[in-house]
């Protein structure tokens, strides 16, 4: 194997994958992905709900694998799909004593004004209603925010005090104002393969100001594969490359990154 595609490192410290989409991975079977991830000491993984059609699927996946957990929520792209029926479906799953054992957060929710696949007002309404569900069920939130920093801050200001479990702004690519707000309000920031991209200095800048106590590791796979594996489908077992890059950017030891990210994940999601 060439240096550009070096072997995936394995660490003694366990790693938690806080954000991926197992239902979307196609390159290998689910069993193969789970087994390879376990081989690289990925201890726990959270597969994320995004639309009305996979609310049940992510729960089924989580029930199939002891080390996989899941969320319930609609991505901002699907904001136009949020309605009373979908809300009732989410609440039914949350209130099911069997299904809710594997549900660890409300997400992926938030705002995306870059693509605007759903009208802004519908995104805003869906975001606020799902935040309220998180408050009522004492669950953390997994937040997507793209080109929507001002509105994300404004809405979270209204909910932060009520969100006892807080949450994470995942795949962080926003400005420093949102980063500082999130840190001050005790939210976490999720960093993934983007930090290895040459044109992502803005993300590395946000990473530099983020204390280790506020960092989570994620891949967002099958998207955003880190160097040196860009061009192939992403998967949780590429997390070691992300951890290494975080240590490099923050000028700390790899052990510090891994231990803090692991403890942060347990603290937030309460597996």
Backbone torsion region of residue 109, taken as left when φ is above 0, otherwise alpha when ψ lies between -120 and 50, otherwise beta? beta
Give me the DSSP letters along 110-132. EEETTT--S-HHHHHHHHHHHHH
* Dist. CA 82–CA 87, nearest whole Å: 7
Q: Is the pLDDT of residue 143 over 60?
A: yes
> Which of 233 and 1 is assigned the larger pLDDT?
233
Backbone torsion region of residue 23, taken as left when φ is above 0, otherwise alpha when ψ lies between -120 and 50, otherwise beta? alpha
Percent of the chain with pLDDT over 90: 97
Write down the pLDDT at residue 5.
Answer: 78
Q: Where are the beta strands (DSSP E) in the chain?
A: 15-20, 42-47, 68-72, 103-112, 141-146, 167-169, 188-191, 215-217
What's the pLDDT tens digit per position in 45-94?
Answer: 999 999 999 999 999 999 999 999 999 999 999 999 999 999 999 999 99
For residue 83, what is the domain's CATH number? 3.20.20.140
Q: In the chain, how many domains are there? A: 1
Which residues, including other chains, have CB under 8 Å from residue 96's CB and lie 6 or more apart? none
Write down the pLDDT at residue 4.
Answer: 63
Q: Which helix (H) or strand (E) holds 261?
A: helix 254-269
Q: If we measure between CA atoms, which residue out of 193, 195, 240 comes closest to residue 219?
A: 193
What's the pLDDT tens digit per position in 2-41?
Answer: 446 789 998 999 999 999 999 999 999 999 999 999 999 9
User: What's the pTM?
Assistant: 0.97
Question: Is 71 part of any domain?
Answer: yes
Write down the pLDDT at residue 2.
Answer: 41
Give the confidence band of 1 by pLDDT, cuts at 50, 70, 90. very low
What's the pLDDT tens digit per position in 93-130?
Answer: 999 999 999 999 999 999 999 999 999 999 999 999 99
Expressed as residue numbers, the domain containing 203 is: 13-269
Write down the pLDDT at residue 254.
Answer: 98
Question: Is 5 part of any domain?
Answer: no
What's the pLDDT tens digit per position in 187-220?
Answer: 999 999 999 999 999 999 999 999 999 999 999 9
Write down the pLDDT at residue 248.
Answer: 98
Mean pLDDT, the chain, rounded, equals: 97
């Amino acid at each position: 194997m060439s240096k550009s595609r070096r072997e995936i490192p394995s660490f003694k410290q366990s790693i938690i994958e806080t954000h991926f989409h197992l239902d979307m991975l196609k390159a290998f079977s689910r069993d193969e992905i789970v087994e390879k991830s376990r081989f690289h000491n990925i201890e726990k993984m959270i597969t994320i709900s995004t639309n009305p059609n996979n609310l049940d699927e992510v729960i089924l996946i989580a029930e199939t694998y002891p080390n996989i957990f899941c969320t319930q929520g609609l991505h901002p792209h699907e904001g136009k799909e949020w309605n009373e029926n979908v809300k009732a479906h989410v609440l039914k799953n949350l209130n099911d004593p069997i299904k809710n054992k594997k549900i660890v957060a409300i997400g992926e929710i938030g705002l995306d004004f870059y693509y605007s696949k759903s009208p802004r007002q519908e995104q805003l309404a869906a975001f606020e209603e799902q935040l309220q569900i998180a408050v009522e069920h004492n669950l953390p939130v997994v937040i997507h925010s793209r080109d929507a920093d001002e509105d994300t801050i404004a809405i979270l200001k209204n909910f932060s005090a009520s969100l006892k479990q807080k949450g994470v702004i995942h795949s962080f690519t926003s400005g420093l104002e949102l980063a500082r707000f999130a840190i001050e309000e005790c939210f976490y920031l999720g960093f993934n393969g983007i930090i290895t991209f040459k044109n992502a200095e803005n993300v590395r800048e946000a990473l530099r100001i983020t204390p280790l106590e506020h960092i989570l590791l994620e891949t967002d796979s099958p998207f955003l594969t880190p160097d040196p594996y860009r061009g192939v489908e992403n998967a949780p077992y590429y997390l070691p490359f992300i951890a290494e890059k975080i240590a490099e950017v923050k000028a700390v030891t790899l052990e510090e990154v891994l231990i803090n990210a692991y403890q942060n994940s347990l603290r937030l999601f309460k597996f």
